[in-house]
A and B are shown apart, each in its own frame.
Chain A
Amino acid sequence: MDTSVSLIQEKEPAIIKIIIIGNSGVGKSSFMNRYVNHRFTNLYRATIGMDFLSKSETLDGESVTVQIWDTAGTERFQSLGSPLYRGTHCCMLVFDVTSKISFSALEQWRKEFLIQGEPKNPDTFPFVVLGNKTDLPDREVSSRRARQWCERFGAEYFEGSAKDDIDVEKTFLRAAHMGLQQYKKHTLENTGHFQITCKQPRETGNNCQC
């Protein structure tokens, strides 16, 4: 342990919040786990509700904490997951390149995110679109088609495979970069449901005046 005292204040690393949404079974959890834990397994349970992992990264010499929120793709759980959209810095829309349905669903997922996440800059908010499962043979959605759709709202397109570890890191790093830009432009006062309260006697109530 270092015993010397440093009076230089370390800057707290910025927390970049990335949310992953898309249809059930497209591989959201697998992609996240490949990036954070560097592994892939067929032994995943379906995500009920949501899951969360974080990872430290250095972006342009700046350390940041990347918070990744993995959501359930099941429509029935959507309204319960959406409170967690708030305070997101980058949204990752995931589809399965072997499923046309999962690709066409992205439009709806994007809309849902903009409504529930309430970003301050809906027109310029950073989206990353990811086509997963490129390791599989029967592809239904071409890169060209996916790129065309992304161009319509300025999203960046990536494709890869969580199973074969193709372009997973690259996709997340780009999302984190875009998230960091968003963070700098629109640092949100409150990114969730927890209030940062001041310590004070209970009787005085909630109106904090410090």
Chain B
Amino acid sequence: MKEQSWNIHFSEYGRGTSMFFTKKTRDLIVRGVPEALRGELWMLFSGAVNDMATHPGYYTELVEQSLGTSTLATDEIERDLHRSLPEHPAFQSDTGISALRRVLTAYAYRNPKIGYCQAMNILTSVLLLYAKEEEAFWLLVAVCERMLPDYFNLFEDLIRENLPQLVEHMTDLSFFSSVSLSWFLTLFISVLPIESAVNVVDCFFYDGIKAILQLGLAVLDYNMDALISCHDDAEAVTILNRYLTQEALCTHRNKECITSLSLKTLLIGIYTLVSLFTLSSSF
């Protein structure tokens, strides 16, 4: 069904780098990209497809140069390889682990300024599930060097602008920076079940950091009443965790959603109600 809608879209608006993006594209993305098209569309939306086309052989060369080197980054990578997506069968064999090692090591070698940062392992694992190894590398480049800016102060500013009721209840907003670190650095992969998380990744590749910021605000907004009646950090973390895990239940029970709001509704919500949150100050 989903594939069908995409095929119609391709025939109407083209496919690959010459594809037109319309309002309809976004509607389709919010509803979730079909598994088989994820790699292709992520490459396209992120612009990684162009980087890869203009740098033939670059990745292979990096892998040759970087593999076997020993740096602080490679030590850290080695420690995290088995702590990335350990529950997924793809990373329970040497094939998956070796690919993950090559991509992360090549990236750290390409950009020593960023090097390796925990969370890249989790993200790259998911990229490898949907894209070929070289593609995953270029997607990682796009995320780290173009798409994930220094959002830290941004999120606090946006909370201040859009959720004044919540701000009034807080002594300061550093709590939200701590809590949301994993939301941003792993694009919600580490807090949502993978089936839901990849849908968030779809939106991220299409809309960039805006998608993650909007979702972050929407999660806080949806839990506003509960957050406002919190007495301490622990209660707030419990509320947010429970909410995000309910999303997990939702996905696993497959549509028989017991919560009043599923992630998909939330995603559709933040996109249809364009003025739900003002991101104007930053974009």
Contact = CB atoms under 8 A, between A and B. Distances in A.
Asked if A and B are interacting partners, one says yes
Given A194-B169, A206-B168, A74 B231 contact: no
Given A43-B86, A46-B122, A48-B190, A194 B181 contact: no
Contact of A44 (B83, B118, B169, B172): B83
Nearest to B174: A83
A68 to B, nearest CB: 10
Contacts of B178: 49-50, 80-81, 83-84
Q: Name B's interface SS.
A: helix
A48 B119 contact: yes
Nearest to A46: B83
Contacts of A72: 118
A84 B179 CA distance: 10
A84 B237 CA distance: 11
A42 B86 CA distance: 8
Interface string A189-203: 011111111000000
A21 to B, nearest CB: 14
Nearest to B230: A194
A54 B234 CA distance: 9
Interface residues of A, number: 34
B234 A49 contact: no
Interface string B223-265: 0000000111111111001000000000000000000000000
A195 B169 CA distance: 6
A77 B178 CA distance: 9
A77 B76 CA distance: 14
Contacts of A52: 234, 237-238, 241
B124 interface: no
A193 B86 contact: no
B37 interface: no
B118 to A, nearest CB: 5
A192 B185 contact: no
A181 interface: no
Contact of B232 (A76, A77, A192): A192
A194 B83 contact: no
Contacts of A134: none
Nearest to B86: A43
Nearest to B78: A25
Interface string B158-199: 000000000011111111011111100110001000000000
A72 B230 CA distance: 24
Nearest to B232: A192
28 contacts: A15-B234, A43-B86, A44-B86, A45-B86, A45-B122, A46-B83, A46-B84, A46-B121, A48-B185, A49-B179, A49-B185, A50-B181, A67-B234, A69-B234, A72-B118, A77-B181, A80-B177, A80-B181, A81-B178, A83-B175, A84-B178, A192-B171, A192-B232, A192-B234, A193-B173, A193-B233, A195-B170, A197-B169
